[in-house]
């Protein structure tokens, strides 16, 4: 066999992308074919740039193995990995090119893994009372300003100690700090909760080890998660962040947008406290949500 032929047939550093992309040429699904070609191109470029030793490549394989092994029904380590690499936020940005009026989106996170229970407006979602009492209210509107009555507002958050119910099944009541609310005739929602606190993402696994090895902290600033939806409108997944919270400038999952930060005022007004069926003075978090009509999606 001539050396010219073996060069054509063999795998080399120079032809690696071509050879492997070619191996996928009969992929029936054109999207999968495109994705695999791009993956091979970028992965090979990465390996050629980094030039890992065999030991380093084995370390990478061991890391991904550990990420998989850490996953179970209530722990999604691959989502965490995607989050701390900024990929979750990038996918979110690519898939939410909305009008300038619509509320900004941010990452879903791994803790919306159980359904939020439907609750009446004004109900409390804090079943363990762990945290400073707070009224959370807002209006859901369409991009043209029309209030959206009957909109669904799905809310979830960590407790005053920084844990979600699913992280502490033996400590917190089931469905603690979760609720599914329906807006009133004016598109308004309101509920009672506790002021959220900043917290670390679960860092007792391989993603936590990666953060430690790279001198990154695991914390997220205080926030409440919201998914809002209304008939004929694009659903929206976002958070409201607490003004003044630590880590607003260094969220470990890159989820903060300036437009989503709100004050949690101290309100000293007996009439308003009575209106919200809460003790005076009280903390108040207001967050209006604007949805794009379905046809406005670009
Ligand atoms: C969260 O906000 O619930 C979250 C987001 C990303 C990673 C971990 C937690
Ligand atoms: Fe969260």
Mean pLDDT in the chain?
Answer: 94
In three-state form (DSSP H/G/I as H, E/B as E, the rest C), the secondary structure along 39-78 is HHHHHHHHHHHHCCCHHHHHHHHHHHHHHHHHCECCECHH
Tokens of 137: 């209210």
Digit-coded pLDDT (tens) for 27-39: 999 999 999 999 9
pLDDT at 108 over 70: yes
- Pick from 105, 70, 71: which is nearest to 88 by CA? 105
Which residues, listed in sequence order, are joined to residue 134 by a DSSP beta bridge? 193, 283
What pLDDT does 161 receive?
86
**Does the beta carbon of 111 sit less than 6 angstroms from any atom of ligand 1?**
yes
Q: Give the ligand 1 atom nearest the CA of 88.
A: 6
Q: Residues 78, 83, 88, 90: what is their CA dihedral angle, to the nearest 10 degrees? A: -140
| CB-based contact 187:140 (threshold 8 Å) | yes
Give the per-residue pLDDT at 296.
54
The superfamily CATH assigns to domain 79-297 is Aromatic compound dioxygenase (2.60.130.10)
Ligand 1 atom with the shortest distance to the CA of 79: 7
- Whole-prediction pTM: 0.92
Determine if the peptide bond prior to 221 is cis (ω within 30°). Answer: no
Q: Does residue 222 line the site of ligand 1, with CB under 6 A? A: no
Per residue in 259-269, pLDDT (tens digit) is 999 999 999 99
Q: In the chain, what percentage of residues exceed pLDDT 70?
A: 96
* Minimum CA distance residue for ligand 1 atom 5: 109
| Cα(111) to centroid(ligand 1), Å | 7
Q: Helices 77-84 and 87-94 sit at what angle, rounded to 10 degrees? A: 80
What ligand has the least distance to the C-alpha of 252?
1
Each residue of 55-70: pLDDT tens digit?
A: 999 999 999 999 999 9
Spacing, Cα 163 to ligand 1 middle (Å): 11
**pLDDT category of residue 8 using cuts at 50, 70 and 90:** low
Shortest-distance Cα residue to atom 4 of ligand 1 = 109
Residue 109 Rama label (left phi>0; alpha psi -120 to 50; beta): left
Q: If pLDDT is split at 50, 70 and 90, which confidence band does 207 have?
A: very high
Q: How many Å lie between the centroid of ligand 2 and the Cα of residue 7?
A: 53
For residue 297, pLDDT beyond 70 = no
220 lines ligand 1 (CB under 6 A): yes
Residue 3 pLDDT level (bands cut at 50, 70, 90): very low
**Which pLDDT does position 68 carry in this prediction?**
98
Q: Where are the domains of the chain?
A: 3-51, 79-297
């Amino acid at each position: 066999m001539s050396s010219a032929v073996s060069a054509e047939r063999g795998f080399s550093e120079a032809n690696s992308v071509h050879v492997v992309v070619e191996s996928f040429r009969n992929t029936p699904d054109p999207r999968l074919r495109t994705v695999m070609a791009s993956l091979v191109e970028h992965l090979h470029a990465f390996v050629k740039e980094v030039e890992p030793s065999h030991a380093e490549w084995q370390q990478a394989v061991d890391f991904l193995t550990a990420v998989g092994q850490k996953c179970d029904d209530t722990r999604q380590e691959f989502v965490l990995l995607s989050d701390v690499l900024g990929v979750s936020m990038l996918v979110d940005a690519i898939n939410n090119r909305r009008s300038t009026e619509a509320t900004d989106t941010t990452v879903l996170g791994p803790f919306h893994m159980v359904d939020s229970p439907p609750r009446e407006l004004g109900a409390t979602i804090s079943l363990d009372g762990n945290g400073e009492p707070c009224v959370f209210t807002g209006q859901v509107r369409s991009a043209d300003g029309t209030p959206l009555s009957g909109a669904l507002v799905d809310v979830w958050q960590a407790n005053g100690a920084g844990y979600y119910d699913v992280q502490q099944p033996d400590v917190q009541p089931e469905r603690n700090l979760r609720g599914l609310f329906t807006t009133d005739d004016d598109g308004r929602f309101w509920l009672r909760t506790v002021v959220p606190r900043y917290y670390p993402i679960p860092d007792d696994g391989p993603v936590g080890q990666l953060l430690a090895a790279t001198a990154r902290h695991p914390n997220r600033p205080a926030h409440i998660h919201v998914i809002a939806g209304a008939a004929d409108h694009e659903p929206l997944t976002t958070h409201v962040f607490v003004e003044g919270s630590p880590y607003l400038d260094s969220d470990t999952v890159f989820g903060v947008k300036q437009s989503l930060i709100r004050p949690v005022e101290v309100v000293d007004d007996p009439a308003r406290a009575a209106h919200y069926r809460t003790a005076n003075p009280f903390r108040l978090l207001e967050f209006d949500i604007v949805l794009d009509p379905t046809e406005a999606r670009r």
